[in-house]
Amino acid sequence: MAVTFKDVVSRVEQQLLGYTKDQASVSQLVQPMTATDTTFSIDPETVRNISRGLIQIGDEMILVKKYDVTSGIVTVMGGLNGRGVLSTVPASHSVDDLVTDDPRFPRARVKEAINDTIIGTYPDLWVFGEYEFPKIAARYEYPIPAAAEDVYKVTANTIGPSAVWFPVTNWRFNPVASTGTQVKPTPTPTGKSVQIYNYITPGRNIRVSYTTAPTLLSADADLFSSTGYPDRYVDMITYGACYRLLPAYEAGRLQQQNIEATERAPLVPTSAASDTVKFFFSLYDKRLTEERDRLQRLFDSYQSFNS
C-alpha cells in the first residue's frame, strides 16, 4: 500500500510517544470553525480539563484563554492573535476534527522534522533525472534542466540497429553557464549545461543522467514516493525525524528548583533524552549508509571513463 505524508507523521508520533503510554487529552469539534473564529465549540462529554494554554486542531496551534465546561465553548486568547501560533497557519476545521490539549510534539513540528530529514539525505542519496538532446555539429555546450544538481553520467546513441548507448568519456558539467542572449547558437536559459568534447555523429541523441534533491512533502495525502524516493526509505526518514525532535525532551525536563530536580532524578535521569537521540541517530545513520551503498552498487556512473 502506498505510504502518504500522514502515514509518515503517524509513524514518527508512534516512535516518540509509544502506542498506549503517553496519551494527550483529546476532544472533538461539535461545530465547524473558520480561520477567523475566536470562539469554537468542543464536545463537553469527552474532555473537562482544557485550560489556558496551547491546543492543536489539525496542523494549527491555538492559544486558549478559557474553556466553559458547561457549554463546551472555548475562547481564543488575544482574538485572532491566538490563532495559528508557533508559526502555524490559521485554517478552517470541520465537525469531529480532533482537538488535542497541549500536544507534546505538534504535528507542524513533526512535519518540519520529516522534511528536514528528507532534504538532509541529499547528496548522500539522490533522485535521478534524464534529459536527451541531439548532437549539433560544431557545438560543444548544451543546456540541461535547472533541477540538475550534478551530472551522474552521459551516454550517446550509436549508429545502426544495435540501439546501444555508449559512455561519453569526455564531458564537463557547468553549473554556472551563461544565460545571456549573446551566447550562440542559443543561450542556456537554465544556467546549467553540459559540455561534450567527444566526437559524436551529428543528429545522434545524447542522454544526460543527472542527480537532483528530493521533493519535500506538503499535504497529508501526498505520497511519499512524490519525493522521488522509494517507500523503502520511510523507516530511515522516521528515525531521522525522531532524532531531530527528541532534544526537546531534554530541554523540557530541566528543573528550576533543586527539590523538584532531586525528586525527579531517579525517574528521569540526566541525559536520558540525549541518549535516546543518539540511539535514533544511529538507526538513521545505519540506514542512510545502507541505502547510499546500494545506490552506488546499482548504478554505474562510468566515472572510471570520465575525463
Q: What is the mean pLDDT of the chain?
A: 88
Q: Check residue 75 and give its pLDDT.
A: 96
Per-residue pLDDT of the chain (307 residues; tens, 9 = 90+): 799 999 999 999 999 987 655 667 889 999 999 999 999 999 988 876 677 899 999 999 999 999 998 899 999 999 999 999 999 999 999 999 999 998 989 999 999 999 999 999 999 999 999 999 999 998 999 999 999 999 999 999 988 777 789 999 899 999 998 887 555 556 678 899 999 999 999 999 999 999 999 999 999 999 999 999 999 999 999 999 999 999 887 765 555 455 455 555 555 566 777 888 999 999 999 999 999 999 988 887 665 444 4
Q: What is the C-alpha to C-alpha distance for residues 174 and 273, in angstroms, rounded to an integer?
A: 45
The predicted structure's pLDDT at residue 50: 79
Strands 60-67 and 53-57: antiparallel
Q: Please measure the distance between the N-terminal and C-terminal CA atoms of the chain and give it in whole angstroms.
A: 44
What Å distances lie between residue 265 and 113, 118, 253, CA to CA? 29, 36, 10
Amino acid 268: pLDDT: 58
Q: What is the pLDDT of residue 15?
A: 93
Q: Are 29 and 95 in contact (CB under 8 A)?
A: yes
This prediction's pTM: 0.86
Q: 166: which residues sit within 8 A by CB, 6+ positions away?
A: 155, 156, 158
How high is the pLDDT of residue 305? Answer: 45
CA 199, distance to chain mean position in Å, is: 42
pLDDT at 159: 84
Residue pair 51/64 in contact by the 8 Å Cβ criterion: yes
Decide if 32 contacts 93 (C-beta within 8 A): yes
d(CA 231, CA 233): 5
Looking at residue 236, its pLDDT comes to: 98
Q: What b/e string do you get for 212-248 counting C-beta neighbours within 10 Å, with b at 16 or more?
A: bbbbbbeeeebebebbbbeeebbebbbbbbbbbbbee
Q: What is the pLDDT of residue 89?
A: 96
Q: What pLDDT score does 162 carry?
A: 78
Q: Could you tell me whether strands 165-167 and 150-157 are parallel, antiparallel, or unpaired per DSSP bridges?
A: antiparallel
Provide DSSP, 222-235.
-BGGGGTS-GGGHH
Number of Cα atoms under 13 Å in the Cβ half of residue 171: 30
